[in-house]
């Protein structure tokens, strides 16, 4: 042993004296190769996760185009491509730095425009700066997509897009900074892995306030309390939208691991894929069982929303639960949808696509359910987060909706609503030969 140590010390001494001997240099190089490989993997995770979540914009567009009546379909398509575009521009000029730059335990970041390293230059850190921006931007856009479905068929185009601009440039980034930017809720121990609250509830609260302020579509609720069914015009499009959203959710939750550079992270991303899928499956099956028990019939739109509610429910913690617990968490999401849709109708809250049960209620449920598997989560911190996001988003979006309502106006005229927004505001019918 002494001989070994003596020789080792001797070699080390020589290394120290020479300062640049090959062995030492190689140790650094091996580590740097490892680090660079991890950098590329992490960046690739953001890019793949990012394009999957980007495609969710198409999923929302198809879901909503399928669930509105044919006279409003072109408008819904336009709103969706416009809101995705606005989200990108607002998150570039305001949102990203407001959410991630210099939050330091506080309540918002800075208004410093974000700058990227030059082309051709290696980036510092564990991933490419621009890949992170892209991944975070598509989350921001998803928040806006949630709103458009609820307020469909009666809101004017430009006021809606103004709302989206403020939501994606200011409201979402500020509240997002509280946890993901390292703000005050992060310091409190609030846990929300991929955004059951930060994305889905925030979108859901904004949608709820919009539905309340806009009021219901004409004829939806009669004075004697009857609810007029206004069936969606294209169920296979809504189904396609749901499958696209399901696909995108692998990027949404899997990418939120934020790293793929080693065995442990790759294994965790894989677990997240499995749990995400099983929660959605649980949501579908639970919704179908409950429908069969209550109605003896199957409403396909509730099964689709069951999948989405299962996905929203597992989003706050897709890593820690066992597969079985994931199925349970998603199943409760599915049950929430079947129960909440008629309740909202009783409350005369007109949510055209069911986004409030799916994103707001299942989002709250998922955020609470974190405590079942993540030992870092406390019920107290989770409820604090849910309430904080709720209070802020309700106040901010109510203010904004009302400001729009009493200035440029939010709602189309009764005649325009009757004609359909495609004729009155767009001038292009969605299906000119079918209807």
Rule CB under 8 A: which of 306-335 touch a second copy? 307, 319-320, 322-323, 327
Interface with a second copy in residues 208-237 (CB under 8 A) = 231-237
Q: Which 99-118 residues touch a second copy, going by CB under 8 A?
A: 116-117
3-state secondary structure of 300: helix
Q: Which residues between 366 and 385 bind a second copy (CB under 8 A)?
A: none
The secondary element (H helix, E strand) that includes residue 195 is none
DSSP assignment of 367-428 equals: HHHGGGT-TT--HHHHHHHHHHHHHHHHHHHHHHHHHHHTTT-SB--HHHHHH-HIIIII--
Per the CB < 8 A criterion, the answer to whether 334 and 310 are in contact is yes
Contact between 258 and a second copy (CB under 8 A)?
no
Closest CB 237 distance from a second copy, rounded Å? 6
Q: Which stretch binds a second copy (CB under 8 A): 103-111, 145-153, 256-264, 401-409?
A: 256-264
- Under DSSP, is residue 63 helix (H, G, I), strand (E, B) or coil? helix
Q: Please tell me whether residue 33 binds a second copy under the rule CB under 8 A.
A: yes
Min dist CB 10 to a second copy, Å, is 9
> At closest approach, how far in Å is the CB of 175 from a second copy?
23
CB of 323 to a second copy, least distance (A): 5
Distances (CA, A) of 29 to 22, 33, 36, 121, 197: 10, 6, 10, 19, 42
Among residues 242, 256, 315, 393, the one that binds a second copy under rule CB under 8 A: 242
Under a CB-based contact definition with an 8 Å cutoff, are residues 357 and 341 in contact?
yes
Residue 132: CB minimum distance to a second copy, A = 8
Quick check: 54 binds a second copy (CB under 8 A)?
yes
Alpha carbon dihedral 99, 100, 104, 106, in 10-degree steps, equals 0
By the rule CB under 8 A, 337 interacts with a second copy:
no
- Provide, rounded to whole angstroms, the least separation between the CB of residue 60 and a second copy: 10
CA nearest to 355, candidates 196, 207, 160, 198: 207
Size of the site for a second copy (CB under 8 A): 139
Site string for a second copy, 133-152 (x = CB under 8 A): xx--x---------------
34 binds a second copy (CB under 8 A): yes
Strand partners, 221: 227
CB of 156 vs a second copy, minimal distance in Å: 11
Cβ neighbours for 193, distance < 8 A, ≥ 6 positions apart: 253, 256, 315, 316, 317, 318, 319, 370
User: Element (H or E) spanning 318, and its range?
Assistant: none
Q: Is 387 in the site for a second copy (CB under 8 A)?
A: no
Alpha-carbon gap, residue 159 to 424, rounded angstroms? 15
Site for a second copy in 55-74 (CB under 8 A): 55, 57-58, 61-62, 65-66, 69-70, 73-74
Interface positions, 275-304, toward a second copy (CB under 8 A): 277-278, 280-282, 284-285, 288, 292, 295, 297-301, 303-304
- Single out the residue of 95, 169, 261, 354 in contact with a second copy (rule: CB under 8 A): 261
Cα 210 to Cα 69, 199, 262, 289, 361, distances in angstroms:
19, 17, 44, 32, 16
Q: Which residues within the stretch 73-92 sit at the binding site for a second copy (CB under 8 A)?
A: 73-75, 77-78, 80-82, 84-86, 88-89, 92
Interface pick for a second copy out of 170, 212, 227, 240 (rule CB under 8 A): 240
Closest CA to 142 of 253, 237, 246, 53: 53
Question: For a second copy, which stretch binds (CB under 8 A), given 206-214, 261-269, 339-347, 389-397?
Answer: 261-269
**Does 305 sit near a second copy (CB under 8 A)?**
no
Could you tell me the CA-to-CA distances from 290 to 337, 339, 415 in Å, in that order? 10, 9, 39
Nearer CB in complex with a second copy: 99/396: 99
Q: Which residues within the stretch 158-197 sit at the binding site for a second copy (CB under 8 A)?
A: 158
């Amino acid at each position: 042993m002494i001989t070994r140590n003596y020789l080792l010390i001797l070699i080390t001494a020589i290394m120290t004296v020479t300062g640049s001997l090959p062995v030492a240099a190689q140790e650094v190089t091996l580590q740097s190769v490892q680090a660079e490989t991890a950098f590329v993997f992490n960046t690739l995770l953001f890019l793949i996760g990012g394009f999957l979540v980007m495609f969710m914009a198409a999923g929302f567009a198809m879901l909503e185009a399928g669930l509105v009546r044919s006279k409003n379909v072109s408008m819904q398509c336009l709103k969706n491509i416009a809101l995705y575009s606005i989200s990108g521009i607002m998150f570039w000029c305001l949102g990203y730095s407001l959410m991630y730059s210099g939050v330091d335990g506080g309540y918002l970041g800075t208004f410093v425009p974000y700058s990227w390293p030059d082309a051709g230059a290696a980036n510092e850190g564990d991933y490419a700066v621009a890949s992170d921006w892209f991944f975070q931007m598509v989350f921001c856009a998803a928040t806006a997509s949630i709103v458009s479905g609820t307020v469909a068929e009666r809101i004017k185009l430009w006021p809606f897009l103004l709302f989206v601009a403020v939501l994606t440039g200011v409201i979402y980034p500020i509240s997002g900074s509280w946890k993901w930017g390292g703000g005050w809720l992060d310091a409190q121990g609030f846990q929300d892995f991929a955004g059951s609250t930060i994305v889905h509830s925030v979108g859901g609260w904004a949608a709820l306030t919009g539905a309340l302020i806009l009021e219901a579509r004409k004829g939806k609720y009669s004075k004697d309390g009857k609810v007029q069914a206004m069936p969606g015009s294209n169920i296979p499009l809504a189904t396609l939208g749901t499958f696209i959203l399901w696909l995108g959710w692998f990027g949404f939750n899997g990418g939120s691991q934020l790293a793929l550079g080693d065995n442990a992270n790759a294994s965790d991303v894989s677990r997240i894929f499995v749990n995400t899928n099983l929660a959605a499956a649980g949501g579908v099956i639970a919704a179908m069982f409950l429908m069969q028990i209550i109605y003896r019939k199957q409403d396909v739109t509730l099964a689709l929303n069951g999948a989405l509610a299962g996905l929203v429910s597992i989003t706050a913690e897709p890593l820690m639960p066992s597969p079985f617990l994931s199925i349970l968490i998603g199943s409760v999401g599915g049950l929430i949808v079947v129960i909440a849709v008629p309740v909202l109708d009783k409350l005369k809250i007109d949510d055209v696509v069911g986004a409030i049960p799916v994103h707001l209620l299942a989002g709250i449920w998922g955020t609470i359910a974190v405590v079942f598997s993540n030992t870092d989560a406390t019920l107290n911190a989770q409820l604090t987060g849910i309430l904080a996001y709720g209070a802020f988003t309700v106040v901010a979006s109510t203010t904004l909706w009302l400001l729009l309502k009493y200035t440029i106006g939010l709602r189309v005229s009764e005649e325009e609503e009757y004609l359909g927004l495609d004729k009155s505001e767009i001038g292009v019918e969605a299906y000119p030969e079918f209807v």
